[in-house]
Chain A
């Protein structure tokens, strides 16, 4: 049958709706729903800023022993800002806090992405009726979350580091720059950005998959 062969050729054309075009549509979606996107970005931003802040101030404190002047250490111990005997306990506490922060932002992101999927049931159903493929819908949501995750994480990472330095300059005075180690700071920045982007994409994975598998008829019928 000539027709079916023809269809198959053309079907591969639909499939090849390019990444850049999908990305364009995803970006448009973010722009159109600017407030919702900004809230989502803020959610990631805060979590990642907290993460990089704690990691940075931790690394500053760890360098006290080796890089700070005697007077400063004595002053800090006197004011209760530094307790060399208790540093182990403090570290454990910090890591708990960090785990919690990452978990909370993960749940927040899943929640926000699920909202954004269910808010768009009808839109997804309509797009599928018009010929969108499952893979397109999946890509659309993943690209959207990846973009939001990248912006939120990078800005969050920077903000956290800057805040840690500002706070550090109050506690350690001018010596804060002696305490900082460039390569550590850079790896803190990279680590927190990667964590942020990863949890955003992981959080979006299930909602995006759910959206892509939705039958158009069901999606259209959803009363919202």
Chain B
């Protein structure tokens, strides 16, 4: 690479954290192919907050899983931090999931028998970080999400909102480039959900971490930079926040 190309490459690297190019995913239903994704193109800039909307069966989860390195496309390419995930072997994919992506699930998915601290330490253990360093960092992260007093509690001794906070701390454990949140507020009441959304936005702003959420929560759309509407395996449209007219409980799409 000459200098010029190098600079260009660096620019690209710093600008986009996810790029999907003509991504197709085909499942076979018997002998009948079903296109879960049928030519998806999109890019996500570093530090963006993106919401993915779409009815169930639209291909939303498939797209989500691919960004998270849990699934590979049949056709097309997905770059995460300019690494083509289709070219990675299982070990490299595990590395990618460990270092580049943080997951937040609808059902929290904490290890129920382990303490909050152990839960947050787990991804760091997989990353090969020293136990004592991991412990310090996990305690720090839990403090950051407002659970400084409860680091030794187990998930079942916590409320839903607190469990989701542990999950957020765990997602941030290895300083990922992307945090993927799959309906993170769906199991929470309105007030708690709002607190979680605010926390995510704050992390997005202060840590410059890219957040991609799948959601039906209008409050979540309200703080997103862009909203991707997925339907029938394609991204129907992208909308900027200001193109939406969000009112309490309902949404008028322009």
Contacts and interface: CB of A to CB of B under 8 A. Distances in A.
A62 interface: no
A73 interface: no
A127 interface: yes
Among B81, B83, B94, B123, max chain A CB count under 10 A is at B94
Among B83, B98, B113, max chain A CB count under 10 A is at B98
Interface stretch (B124-132, B187-195, B218-226, B243-251): B124-132
Interface in B75-114: 81-83, 87-88, 90-92, 94-99, 103, 105, 109-111, 113-114
Interface stretch (B43-51, B65-73, B200-208): B65-73
Contacts of B87: 4
Contacts of A126: 103, 105, 109-111
B122 A14 contact: no
A13 interface: yes
A15 B98 CA distance: 12
A14 B94 contact: yes
Contacts of A33: 113
A15 B95 CA distance: 9
B127 A14 contact: yes
Interface in A1-51: 1, 3-4, 7-8, 10-17, 21, 25, 28-29, 32-33
Nearest to A8: B92
A130 interface: yes
Interface in A104-130: 122-123, 125-130
A32 B113 contact: yes
Interface in B34-70: 65, 68, 70
Interface stretch (A131-139, A167-175, A187-195): A131-139
22 contacts: A1-B82, A7-B88, A7-B95, A8-B92, A11-B91, A11-B92, A11-B95, A14-B126, A25-B125, A33-B113, A122-B109, A126-B105, A127-B122, A127-B126, A129-B70, A130-B97, A130-B98, A131-B94, A131-B95, A131-B97, A134-B90, A220-B109
Contact of B82 (A3, A8, A125): A3
Among A4, A14, A129, A216, max chain B CB count under 10 A is at A129
Q: How large, as a class, is the contact surface on chain A?
A: 35 or more
- 8 closest A-B pairs by CB: A131-B98, A131-B126, A32-B113, A11-B95, A130-B123, A126-B109, A131-B97, A11-B92
Contact of A130 (B71, B83, B126): B126
A59 to B, nearest CB: 44
Contact of B103 (A15, A29, A129): A129
A32 B114 contact: yes
A168 B201 CA distance: 75
A128 B174 CA distance: 15
Contacts of B123: 130-131
Given A13-B128, A17-B126, A128 B111 contact: no
Interface of A: 1, 3-4, 7-8, 10-17, 21, 25, 28-29, 32-33, 122-123, 125-134, 136, 215-217, 220
Interface residues of B, number: 34
Given A130-B170, A131-B98, A133-B90, A17 B128 contact: yes
A129 B97 contact: yes
Contacts of B105: 126, 220
Among A17, A134, A217, max chain B CB count under 10 A is at A217
Given A217-B70, A217-B71, A128 B94 contact: yes
A129 B68 contact: yes
A129 B67 CA distance: 12
Nearest to B128: A13
A4 B127 CA distance: 17
A33 B114 CA distance: 11
Contacts of B126: 14, 17, 127, 130-132, 136
Interface string B122-150: 11011110000000000000000000000
A3 B14 CA distance: 13
Nearest to A12: B91
